[in-house]
Structure 1
Amino acid sequence: MEPIVRAIFTVLLLLVGVPSTAIAQSAQKPAAVPVRVITAERKPVVRMLDLVGRVEAVQRVEVRARITGYLEEVLFKEGDAIKEGAPLYRIEKGLFEAAVGQAEGALEKSQAAKQLTEVQLQRAQELLQKQVGTEVARDQALAADKSASATLILDQANLQTAKINLGYTDIASPISGKIGKTNITKGNVVSAQSGVLTTIVSLDPTYVEFPVSERELAAAQEEARAIDPTGIKPTVYFSDGKPYKHPGTINFINVTVNRGTDTVLVRATFPNPDGSLIDGQLVRVGLQKSTAEEKIAIPQSALISDQEGVYVFVADQGKATVRRIRTGGPSGTGVIVEQGLTGGEQVIVEGIQSLRPDAAVTTSASEPSPKRS
């Protein structure tokens, strides 16, 4: 069927004046595929461990009610930054003020009773010394005085408890940080069983925790020539690949290895003055393994895998040729090439989907992608 179609197409083109030689060339020579390339260059490359970490606030407080009462007011705006001591909730005070009044009255009564028992004890002792009173009367007065002292101590404690409970009607922030949503609204009865009213997390500084294999951590410490882990400077990268502008400092390495994953939990401290790192956020962590070496690094987008391994397309004399390579781990957003490229090759990074080995290509330079610094 194809020869017939080609013949008809040739006749039509001849009728409009197109030479048959052009038809033959058009049918035999496929159009060149437009691609973008980068030049493989040897540059100082720092080997990095690419890890997954999670942001953890240095301080995290779950605010709870410590008494039972009617919630009169919510005094903060959800999501705001707040200072330590800022008022958050107000619980109705009436019953607790009354409890303080009752405790004060009971204390005054017990104080008066104590004064009376002291006087009675003193009289009983004087009468016994004059041999007018009896030891029984003195002992009864002494017991009454000690009982009054115990009642006085109890009433003082009750008053202190009542005042503490009254203080709990005003719930204030125990730390400075950022406050979340409120789980209880005005008009509800709250108690210790109401659960978390809201959550406050500190912002600056913040932690990032990430697991590192025991072998890789030891190698990083050895190559960094650090006596302590603070010699290793981790870097955080966001989901779009952009690096966080502040480097971190490792401040804790767990004392046990996770037997299921053979990793050690590592924690680093990062400055967070603008709140870019959010508690619970999933990030990537770059951990420097060694000093800079002269290596070739290419973008991940250039890599192609098949049953034989990994290869790239190189533009050579207008054709896409296959180069088998051996990679050596990540470097920023790219990958290190250990074998297969010597430098100077035009590595194809865009338009790969339409390529076949030895396909004709037209090249243009690819715009540099953001680098991890």
Structure 2
Amino acid sequence: MSRFTHISLLILLILCVACTEQTSNPEKDNTQQQKQEQPVEVGQPVHIDPVKTGTISSYLISSGTIESNKTVEIFPKVSGYVTEVLCKEGEFVKKGQPLVKLDPREWEIVVLQARMDITELKQQQKQEKLNIETLRKKIQQAQLNISELEEQMKQVKLDQTKTKKDLDRGKESYQQNIISEGDLENNRYNYQKSLLAENSLTVQIKRSKVAKEEAELELTKANSAIQNIQVSIRKAEKVTLRDALLKLSYATITAPFSGVLIEQAVTEGQLIGTSAKIFTLVDLKKLILVLNIPERELTLLKEKQKVILRSENFPDMVAEGRVESISPVVNNQTGTVAVKVAVRPDKSILRPGIFVQASIVLQHKTSVVVIPRAPILYDNNRSFVYVVNDENKAQKKFVELGIREGDQVEVLSGVEQDEKLIVSGHHIVEDKQLVEIIEREENLESN
């Protein structure tokens, strides 16, 4: 038998066997055919992220320019020629540090003259004190003399009374020839002598009293003079000299507080007056930001709220501040309220004049459910998301949203931590639809 004949018989045998199997299993053939005809359900590809808890804040956004809370223009308090400029623009100075010196000679002369005047007044005061002491002694002596003379007058009065009685008795005795004419004349002489003594003492007492009164008047004048001198000394010491010393001290112009000098406007040898600005001084440690907030936002604001500061020109800079005060007055032209923010400065960047964006922290929450904004959909103004349940099907869940920060949203209710949130493909899935979770490329690369 030829090779071709063998091959033909083998093919024929195979065909016969095949026909026999089809005839003997008709039910099996039908089942396989049905399986091939039924469509296989394929899950909708989606990406998921587990729902997590985190920190989220809400902000009120505004902007403004950084200012120094303390900025002063420094002017001299006296006129004069500038002899020294001790600091330069851009330099940090401490409170009380000398900045500029003026020619002090004019005020040194005034101080010297004031001191000489005071010395002269004190010498006059000393002389008046000596004069007062002399007058007091004079008054005391006059009073002593008056007292002695008055005592003598008492004795003279007694003698006068006695001699008058002796004279009267002598006259009677003479008429009766009891005494002689010589005895009568002797009695008359004694009486006349007492009268003369009385007159002399009266004159002396009067003169002593006049001397005392004159001394007392001089003492009054001396006391008044010394009081005037004391007033002049006090005025010279507390007004003239102090004013001269103060103006002499003004010849050295010092920093009123610690800060940085800007806008230098003075040179050595320059004649300056009290209206000539020499420096502007700013305190970089006390920076503020004044924000103009719409009045409708007023109820959201309160003092000590945290404020985050950023600048487009310095993208890496993030500074902080606190709401220091809220103006009680609304600007009727702009409808805004001035809010003053005390800035905690960044030593290397923040300076007066920098324009910043300010985010006032209205709420700050921790350990709350937070999801991206992108997967959130809406059904008749109700927010919902899709999650993948245990059957690998999309499940529609309505959610109550809280505060928003950037692309993140707080979820108050509706989903819980670790649920599988559909974050990609959510626009094309439907509730209870089978889904297929596709790992993201970054996850595959990390694995």
| TM-score of Structure 1 vs Structure 2, range by shorter chain | 0.5 to 0.7
Distance 1:77 1:138, change over 3 A: same
| In 2: Cα distance, 1:91 partner to 1:148 partner | 35
Match of 1:113 in 2: 124
Match of 1:219 in 2: 300
Instruction: Write the letter of the residue equivalent to 1:111.
Output: K
Scaled by the length of structure 1, what TM-score is found? 0.62
Match of 1:189 in 2: 271
Q: Is the contact between residue 235 and residue 244 of structure 1 (CA under 8 Å) also seen in structure 2?
A: no
- Deviations 1:131-174, CA, capped at 9 Å, x for gaps: 34413212221221122112212221211211111111111112
Scaled by the length of structure 2, what TM-score is found? 0.53
- Deviations 1:334-361, CA, capped at 9 Å, x for gaps: 899xxxxx9548xxxxxxxxxxxxxxxx
Unaligned runs of 5+ in 2: 1-46, 143-210, 375-402, 410-421, 426-447
State whether structure 2 residue 139 is matched by structure 1 residue 128.
yes
Match of 2:328 in 1: 255
- Deviations 1:25-84, CA, capped at 9 Å, x for gaps: xxxxxxxxxxxxxx9x99986443221222221322221100111111111121112222
Instruction: Write the letter of the residue equivalent to 1:187.
Output: G
* Worse-matched range after superposition: 159-168 or 233-242: 233-242
Q: Is the contact between residue 55 and residue 283 of structure 1 (CA under 8 Å) also seen in structure 2?
A: yes
Unaligned runs of 5+ in 1: 1-38, 222-228, 298-328, 337-341, 346-373
Correspondent of 1:96 among 107, 110, 128: 107
Q: Which has the larger radius of gyration?
A: 2
The CA RMSD over aligned residues, in Å, is: 3.4
Match of 2:230 in 1: 149
Match of 1:278 in 2: 351
Distance 1:170 1:187, change over 3 A: same
State whether structure 2 residue 322 is matched by structure 1 residue 245.
no
* Worse-matched range after superposition: 165-174 or 146-155: 146-155
- CA apart distance, 1:294: 3.8
- CA apart distance, 1:280: 3.6
Distance 1:218 1:343, change over 3 A: farther
The structure in which a higher percent of residues are helix is: 2
Which SS does the other structure have where 1:267 is aligned?
Answer: strand
Number of matched pairs:
265
Q: Is the contact between residue 179 and residue 199 of structure 1 (CA under 8 Å) also seen in structure 2?
A: yes
Correspondent of 1:159 among 241, 245, 255: 241
Q: What is the aligned-residue identity percentage?
A: 22
| In 2: Cα distance, 1:238 partner to 1:330 partner | 22
Distance 1:281 1:210, change over 3 A: same
Distance 1:259 1:235, change over 3 A: same
Instruction: Write the letter of the residue equivalent to 2:332.
Output: R
Correspondent of 1:202 among 277, 283, 286: 283
Which SS does the other structure have where 2:337 is aligned?
Answer: strand
- CA apart distance, 1:243: 6.1
Match of 2:373 in 1: 296
| In 2: Cα distance, 1:243 partner to 1:273 partner | 12
| In 2: Cα distance, 1:330 partner to 1:61 partner | 42
